[in-house]
């Protein structure tokens, strides 16, 4: 049961839109880049296993609702995958990232994504131990699934698209580490 999706020591596994990855390999780092999408990082500190998903939209009714690009399905797949590999629901902790408003003239999909993920985890009684959602900047997220450590780098967006009514996170080229 080493890692699902990677192989070598110190390997970084990209989690792209519509995917999820799970690992119990201490040498694996899961990584993604987010705009309005959400990545949920779940971790069981006792079993030392964790995973990350990356979803595009909160939900879709109808025949395509089982598509992993949608939050409900992506969250279920990640949780069930972790349980199958030895995690326990009562020990799981969550970290959320993404949900930025990437274009001022479009519907705020990022806000809908973040609200969906927060509500889903609340209903499932899975605590959110940290989060970085909203704002107007993309994020590069790295997650160490065996320790639960997460790091993000904020990527500045086009300043012409930023709305003065919403305070964006501080611009920095330094990574932010969340424990």
CA distance 147 to 52: 13
Matching residue, tokens 């949900």: 99
Number of domains in the chain: 1
Q: Tokens at residue 157, please?
A: 């967006």
Tens digit of pLDDT for each residue in 113-148?
999 999 999 999 999 999 999 999 999 999 999 999
Instruction: With cut-offs at 50, 70 and 90, classify the pLDDT of residue 161.
Output: very low
Q: Tokens at residue 56, please?
A: 């595009």
- Give me the domain span that covers residue 143: 3-178
Q: Tokens at residue 158, please?
A: 């086009």
Tens digit of pLDDT for each residue in 51-60?
999 998 776 5
Strand order in the sheet with 29-34: 12-14, 29-34, 138-144, 149-155, 176-178
Asked about 41 being catalytic, the answer comes back as no
Q: Choosing from 37, 56, 77, 154, which is the catalytic residue?
A: 37
Instruction: With cut-offs at 50, 70 and 90, classify the pLDDT of residue 72.
Output: confident
Mean per-residue pLDDT of the chain: 83
DSSP H or E run through 117: helix 109-123
Give percent of the chain with pLDDT exceeding 90: 65
Q: What is the pTM of this model?
A: 0.79
Q: What is the CATH number of the domain that holds 129?
A: 3.30.1330.200
| Cβ atoms of residues 35 and 102 within 8 Å | yes
Question: Which residues, including other chains, have CB under 8 Å from residue 65's CB and lie 6 or more apart?
Answer: 59, 72, 73
């Amino acid at each position: 049961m080493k890692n699902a999706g990677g192989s070598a020591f110190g390997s970084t596994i990209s989690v792209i839109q519509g995917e999820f990855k799970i690992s119990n390999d201490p040498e694996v780092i899961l990584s993604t880049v987010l705009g309005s999408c959400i990545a949920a990082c779940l971790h069981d500190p006792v079993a030392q296993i964790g995973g990350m998903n990356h979803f595009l939209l909160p939900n879709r009714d109808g025949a395509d609702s089982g598509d992993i690009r949608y939050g409900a399905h992506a969250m279920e797949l990640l949780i069930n995958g972790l349980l199958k590999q030895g995690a326990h629901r009562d020990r799981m902790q969550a970290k959320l990232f993404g949900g930025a408003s990437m274009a001022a003239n479009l519907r705020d999909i990022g806000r809908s994504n973040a609200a969906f993920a927060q509500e889903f985890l609340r209903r499932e009684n899975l605590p959110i131990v940290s989060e970085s959602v909203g704002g107007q900047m993309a994020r590069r997220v790295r997650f160490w699934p065996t320790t639960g450590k997460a790091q993000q780098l904020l990527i500045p967006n086009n300043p012409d698209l930023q709305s003065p009514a919403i305070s964006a996170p501080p611009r920095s080229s330094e990574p932010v580490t969340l424990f």
